[in-house]
Amino acid sequence: MEEPLSHPSLDALPLDALPLVVVDLETTGLSVEEGHRIVEVAAVQSGPEGEARWSQLVDPCMTMPADSYAVHGIGDRLLDGAPTIDAVLPELRRRIEGRVLVAHHAPFDLGFLAAACARIGQPPVQPAAVVDTLLLARVVFGLIHCSLPELAARVGAPHDPPHRALPDAVATLHLFRAMAAELGDQAPTLGELVALPQRLAKGGELRTVHRRALQQALLDGHDVVIDYSSGAGGALSTRRRIRVTRLRSPYVEAWCHLRGAERVFKLSRIRRVAPAPEPAPGPSED
């Protein structure tokens, strides 16, 4: 997979100052190579100036396959009278270019947009930078499977109905904000955020970040919340509030509030470490 685009003039900006546009597409199928096309677009612009939402159905000039209709509910009757992609692209381009594009599985959306532009002889749409919330979720939550509905539910994002362009884009924006808050000073600027998945994937740096956070919690005597993998293929099993009592790499000894007892955790199975939201009672002292 190609590395996400990033523009040097935006790299140093804090995340809450970025001119964002969250984009989502619905299509006739999953494969550009097989001739599938866009049937709905949505763009949610967000930045210091506020938020603006826009969506548009698109006539794909082909019959909607039954399996795709079963996913998003967009059928031929609903698309009757909708504009074709050549009429929609200028407005979408205006909303995207010069902004940081956020999308869940960005290569999918960018691939369909590039194919649509090529089909009508236009240059590709060029955002100033790209952030893929799917890649980011794998860093923040330590999950392999990161569907948007599951992640939206996890962070309490509105998402109704799923698999329509505008609700998906709104949910993605909420997910992006939630993950940016979770990361805190690990990725305070756009440049650091774009580089984070690649950086943490190299040399066990994510494990080092977690070890430092746990060491600080031990020194401060504060609880933290961890996402702890079962170890079976890296699938997330539980979210636990713990108070670290000892670090002896590769293990972490801690009081686990979920179990109400001392537990030993393997550092390599910890997918996320975050401050606990509020005090909780610890083990009684004799």
pLDDT-based confidence at residue 201 (cuts at 50, 70, 90): low
pLDDT-based confidence at residue 278 (cuts at 50, 70, 90): low
Q: Where are the domains of the chain?
A: 8-197, 204-275
Residue 9 pLDDT > 90, yes or no?
no
d(CA 239, CA 228): 6
Mean pLDDT taken over the chain: 87
pLDDT-based confidence at residue 205 (cuts at 50, 70, 90): low
Q: How far is CA 46 from the centre of its chain?
A: 16
Residue 236 pLDDT > 70, yes or no?
no
Q: With 0.85 as the threshold, say if the pTM is over it.
A: no
Residue 246 pLDDT > 60, yes or no?
yes
How many angstroms separate the first and last alpha carbons of the chain?
A: 56
Residue 141 pLDDT > 80, yes or no?
no
The two three-digit tokens of residue 27, written as one number: 């299509």
pLDDT-based confidence at residue 1 (cuts at 50, 70, 90): very low
Q: What is the pLDDT of residue 285?
A: 43
CB 76 within 8 A of CB 66: no
Considering Cα of 109, then 115, then 120, then 122, what sign does the dihedral take? positive
Out of 23-27, 124-128, 207-211, 269-273, pick the least confident.
Answer: 207-211
pLDDT mean over 17-27: 97
CATH architecture of 8-197: 2-Layer Sandwich (3.30)
- Looking at residue 232, the DSSP 8-state letter turns out to be S
Fold designation for 204-275: SH3 type barrels. (2.30.30)
Residue 77 pLDDT > 60, yes or no?
yes
pLDDT mean over 216-245: 79
Closest to 21 measured CA to CA, from 107, 96, 79, 112: 96
Residue 106 pLDDT > 50, yes or no?
yes
d(CA 24, CA 167): 9
**pLDDT tens column, 35-55:** 999 999 999 999 998 999 999
